[in-house]
Structure 1
Amino acid sequence: MEKFDLCVIGAGPSGFAAAMRALDFGKRVALVERNKVGGAGIFDGALSSKTLWELSESYQLTRNTNLGYTVYDSEVHFSSVMHQAHRAVAEKHVQLKKQISYFEKTGRLTFFKGHAKFASKNEIGITDSEGQSQTIWADNTVMAVGSRPRYLPHIPIDEKIILTSDGVSSLPDFPKSIVILGAGVIGCEFATIFSNFGKTKVFLIDKEERILPFEDEDISHAVAANLEDNGAVIHHGASLEKMSIVDGKVEYVLSFKDGRKETHTVEKALISVGRVSNCENLGLEAAGVALNERGCIDDEHTRSNVPNIYAVGDFTADISLVNVGELEGRHAVERMFGSPKRELVYENISTIMFLNPEVASVGLNETQARKKKIPYRIAIMHYRYVNRALAMHKLDGFFKILVSDDDDMKILGMRVMGPHASSTIMAVALMISMDIGIEHLAELIFPHPSIPEGIQECARMLMGTSIVKPEVFNLDVRCYRVDAEGRVEDL
């Protein structure tokens, strides 16, 4: 029986990161993957969908008529768009395979193509596509088994007419119309993508009164307004009673709180109601690993209830994001073979929502702060006061920074909505991690002109030293305090 210091089950973002980190410690690693190296991080997931979003944003520019020029006779073909998305995915896949191949030649890593299943807490059976099996021994194991789109039992998902995100790449053309069930981040991102290309009438089913209900109202309303300006129809406060395939099309019935019902027919449907972990047929009972009711592992900083078995990425109950999964994979290995320099924390996780326009976030938003009864101060400034936004002629956006309601004014969180929003986030994430106040942000020398200058001006507003004065532009430049009971006072 071949023996390894570490077996990593799953070569998606978190598993790949764990394997590479173990090599840093000079360990002998087995990496097992039953499907494609890269997982949902690149295939039918983050990289694929974000490439489509970038392409849709670029194409939408050709449809604008208020930028001082007009583009005539622009065309877009779904096959060409998907070809570009596949190119990006293939490039990343080649990079990952190149690293695996290099370390295989050194004998430090062995890649197994097949399905892994525990026979005990140290023995792992691997079965390839032809049914051939072998068993290896691992002193430690990282489970990075990933997740898949959630299916709803009453909806006939066939990945051709009624799809999940896994089926989008197999569409033959832009559908003439599509309904999207689920108004969270992924549902809204696909609504943005399809509406940007202008070839598809988009309908979005939102059972709440507003989309993105976990975000602040100003962001939710702005995203909804932009989708509607793009031609999308949002079914607010709608419950799906039935969805079926009738004569090759999708028929769905909605009910509303006022008692009315509506029946609609569209060409395709996209179901976006979350993901479930790939927890089946892993031999967890033989290893003694316990799952919670969600089919995930309640881990203690990545370690399961079995001391030599760890879980990372979508297999844990934490946030399902590529960057979080990679961080967890690295942290798990550092716990096994070294001593992490810092605890695994989630308070400064940076995220991007690829909407119209993009939204970047880190830390708390106002909704969360009020729910937790945390007093805070906040500065809000519109994009129009940032020179780079003026130069780009893209003024649809704003900055929001929340800080503690004390003299230290430590950053609690930030939201930025607008073009280049993602370029603003890292300095603030680092400051949250370092637990320092906004005076450091106020005195940095930012490149000019750039979008991040907006967050610096928000910091200055909170310190009372801003160049753009709230009392002059008080409709879209604001600075106020909110106490633990939600009472608001202007600063």
Structure 2
Amino acid sequence: MRKFDLCVIGAGPSGYAAAMRAVDFKKKVLLVEKDKLGGAGIHHGALTSKTWWELSREAYTISQLSNTLNLSPPKHNFEKLKNEVRLAANERMSLLEHHMYNINVSANEELFTYMQGEAKLISENIVSIHNDSDSEEIQADYIILATGSRPRKLPHIPIDEEIILTSDGIDRLTEFPKSMVILGAGVIGCEFATIFSNFSQTKVHLIDKGDRILPFEDEDVVKVIEHNLEAKNVLIHRNSQLIEMKVVNNKVQYILEYTDGSKEVFVVDKALISVGRIPNYENLFDDSIQIEMDNRGIKDTLTQTSLPNIFAVGDITADIALVNVGELEGRYAVERIFGTPTKPLIYENISTIMFLAPEVAGVGLNETKAQELGIDYKIVSMDYGCISRAIAMRNTQGFIKILVSNDDEMKILGMRVIGEHASSAIEAVALLISMDKGIEELTELIHPHPSIIEGIQECVRMLTNKSILKPSVLRNTMKCGCFSNKEYKDIKF
């Protein structure tokens, strides 16, 4: 029986990161994957959906330029676009394969082993690995579970990945559907609504059980996203409950009931079910393995499960399901096992991006969450129309918004940026949040000009009454206020 210091089950982002961190410690590590290297993060998740988003943005730009040239909007070839998405996934997977198969050469030691097969824990230290041609049992001092997640399915909806799809079924489409309904108005649902509406070849319906999409996000952010979706002919079903969805004559028929009790029947070509993801832990353990879990995933304390030598990272746990979080957890677990982490595992300063129109980037708290937690705060915001780079891009839709503590220290609690280059604007603030710092670090920092991040500096200068542009003059584009005792008040300068 072969023996390893560490066995990592699952070669998605979190598992791959964990395995490579173990190599840093000169440990003998086995990485096992039953499907494709890279997991959903490459093949059915972040990379593929964001490649679709980038292609759709280009398509929408071409469409807008066609209008200025008095040309008919172009029709895009779905198969060619899909092939481009596959090339992106294969490019990333090839990079990981090349890196993986040469890591021992680089380390000058036989530290890393990769196996294709389905892994199952026989005991706390024994893992059985099966594939089409062979089976083997290995022994490992420590085990990291990183088997990821899959789209959630609803029992009353006949998902066939042909007419009624999850995100895993997008690559089975052969052409743009003329119409599509998306069930779920969270991030993934809204991203796909953005993608398909950008190509202008699909009439998109979006089912939202509340009065607005993205219910966890601030209302001012949501208003911009909703406006842009509806401008692209997206039909948002607000305050609606799905009563029934079925396939009739190779089309999707669905019935909605609204909060006023009325019902309505719709027929579209395809449906996309986007109601979250569930962890993959079926058939992962022998019955003798007693590990604590619930319907959200495996329970863990800073990545360690109820069995002291077994750790869980990424989507298989109940923590935030993001690629960057999974990688962080994978590396942290290895540092706990073989060393001492230099920094605690915290989630408050994790940066996120929503690939919408326009993109939305955030870190830390937004107003919705701060109010939910009963936290008093000051808030400052600036429209993109005040930022030179946005003016130069001829796209001033968007704003920067920063929350700080409602005291003299004004420690940064969070930030939201909606608009072009939003994702490039948040890392400095994420670092300050992790350092528990206030805004003084940003007030005199020299940013490149022209850049979107100059707007961040002007925002924090507003809080210290040192801004170049004065909010007392530009009341509609620069705002500063405070939330205290459950009331919001404008701050006057």
TM-score range, shorter chain: over 0.9
Q: Tell me whether 1:431 sits opposite 2:424 in the alignment.
A: no
Cross-structure match for 1:283: 285
Find the counterpart in structure 2 of residue 228 from structure 1.
230
In 1, distance between residues paired with 2:99 and 2:22? 14
Once the 2 structures are TM-superposed, how far is the Cα of residue 170 of structure 1 from its aligned partner? 1.4
Q: Deviations over 1:1-40 (max 9, x none)?
A: 1000000000000000000000000000000000000001
Q: Is the 8 A contact 1:373 1:486 kept in 2?
A: no
> Is 1:16 matched with 2:19?
no
Q: CA deviation at 1:103?
A: 2.9
CA drift of 1:439 comes to 1.2
Query: Is 1:74 matched up with 2:74?
Result: yes
The SS at the match of 1:287 is coil
The DSSP-based 3-state class of the residue aligned with 1:64 is helix
Give the AA of the match of 2:13. P
Of the three residues 131, 138, 142, the one matched with 2:144 is 142
Q: What is the distance in 1 between the residues matched to 2:2 and 2:315?
A: 28
From the superposition, tell whether residues 308 and 63 of structure 1 become closer, same or farther in structure 2 (CA, over 3 Å). Answer: same
1:490 Cα shift? 2.1
Percent identity over paired residues:
55
Alignment of 1:386-465 (within 5 A): 386-465=387-466
Is residue 180–residue 269 contact of structure 1 (8 Å, CA) maintained in 2?
Answer: yes
Residue 28 (str. 1) matches residue 31 (str. 2): no
The residue number in structure 2 matching 1:250 is: 252
| Letter of the structure 1 residue corresponding to residue 19 of structure 2 | A
* Deviation of the 1:65 alpha carbon: 4.9
Q: Please, which runs of 5 or more residues in structure 1 have no aligned partner? A: none
- Matching residue of 1:466: 467
Corresponding letter in the other structure for 1:460: R
The reply on whether 1:315 has 2:333 as its aligned counterpart is no
Partner of 1:368: 369
1:382 matched to 2:383? The reply is yes
1:215 corresponds in structure 2 to: 217
- Equivalent position SS for 2:123: coil
Secondary structure of 1:469's match? coil
**Judging changes above 3 Å, is the alpha-carbon distance between structure 1 residues 71 and 28 closer, same or farther for their aligned structure 2 residues?**
farther
CA gap 1:194/1:210 in 2 versus in 1, 3 angstroms: same
SS at match of 1:193: helix
CA–CA separation in structure 1 for the residues paired with 2:449 and 2:67: 22
Alignment equivalent of 2:117, drawn from 110, 114, 117: 114
Confirm or deny: 8 A CA contact 1:159 1:166 kept in the other structure: yes
| Residue number in structure 1 paired with 2:266 | 264
2:193 maps to: 191
CA distance in 1, matches of 2:66, 2:82: 28
What amino acid does structure 1 have at the position aligned with 2:430? A
Secondary structure in 1 matching 2:175? coil
Cα contact 1:381–1:477 (8 A) shared by 2: yes
Q: CA deviation at 1:284?
A: 5.4
- The correspondence of residues 290-305 of structure 1 with structure 2, limited to 5 A, is 290-294=292-296, 296-305=297-306
2:306 is paired with a residue of what secondary structure?
coil
- CA deviation digits over 1:239-298, x for unaligned, max 9? 00000000000000000011110100000000000000001001154333121243x122
* TM, length-normalised to structure 1: 0.97
SS of alignment partner, residue 177 of structure 2: coil
How much has 1:484 moved relative to structure 2? 3.4
Over the residues paired in the alignment, what is the CA RMSD in angstroms? Answer: 1.4
Distance 1:126 1:146 in 2: 18
DSSP-derived class of the 1:320 partner = coil
Kindly tell me the number of residue pairs found equivalent between the two proteins: 489
Give the deviation of 1:67 after TM superposition: 9.7
C-alpha change, 1:384 and 1:67, in structure 2 (3 Å) is: farther
1:125 equivalent among 118, 123, 128: 128
Q: Which residue of 1 aligns with 2:48?
A: 48
Match of 2:460, SS state, is: helix
1:171 offset after TM fit, Å? 0.3
Partner of 1:57: 57
* Range 76-85 or range 340-349, more displaced: 76-85
2:294 aligns to what SS in structure 1? coil
8 A Cα contact 1:67 1:393, kept in partner: no
Structure 2 Cα separation of the partners of residues 473 and 104 of structure 1: 60
Q: 1:103 and 1:366 mapped to 2: Cα distance?
A: 45
1:103 has 2:93 as partner: no
Q: 1:138-189: per-residue Cα shift (whole Å, max 9, x none)?
A: 0000000100000000000000000000000110001100000000000000
* Cα deviation code 1:353-373 (max 9, x no counterpart): 000000000000001111111
Which residue of structure 2 lines up, in the alignment, with residue 178 of structure 1? 180
Contact 1:410 1:438 in 2 (8 A): yes
Instruction: Name the CA shift for 1:123/1:485 in 2 (closer, same or farther; >3 Å).
Output: same
In the alignment, the residues of structure 1 paired with residue 19 and residue 300 of structure 2 have an alpha-carbon distance, to the nearest angstrom, of 19
Q: Which moved more, 1:141-150 or 1:368-377?
A: 368-377
Give the aligned residue type for 1:114.
Answer: G
Tell me, yes or no, if the aligned pair for 1:53 and 1:354 is still in contact at 8 Å. yes
Residues in 2 aligned to 1:50 and 1:320: alpha-carbon distance in whole angstroms: 16
The answer to whether the 8 A contact 2:386-2:477 is kept is: no
Deviation at 1:481, TM superposition (A): 1.1
Instruction: Tell me by how many angstroms 1:125 deviates.
Output: 0.3
Deviation at 1:66, TM superposition (A): 10
**For 1:165 and 1:79, how far apart are their aligned partners in 2?**
17
Q: Equivalents in 1 of 2:263, 2:68: separation in Å?
A: 45
Alignment deviations for residues 74-99 of structure 1 (CA, whole Å, 9 cap, x no partner): 34111111111111111100011112
**Which amino acid counterpart does residue 337 of structure 2 have in structure 1?**
M
Relative distance call for 1:331 and 1:284 in structure 2 (3 A) is farther
- How far did residue 486 of structure 1 move? 2.7
Single out whichever of 471-480 and 396-405 deviates more from structure 2.
471-480
Shift, 1:129, TM fit: 2.6
CA distance in 2, matches of 1:425, 1:285: 46
1: CA distance, partners of 2:116 / 2:347? 33
Letter of the structure 1 residue corresponding to residue 80 of structure 2: S
Answer yes or no: is the 8 Å Cα contact 2:66–2:73 preserved in 1. no
Q: One-letter code of the match for 1:255?
A: E
Shift of 1:456: 1.0
Amino acid at match of 1:121: E
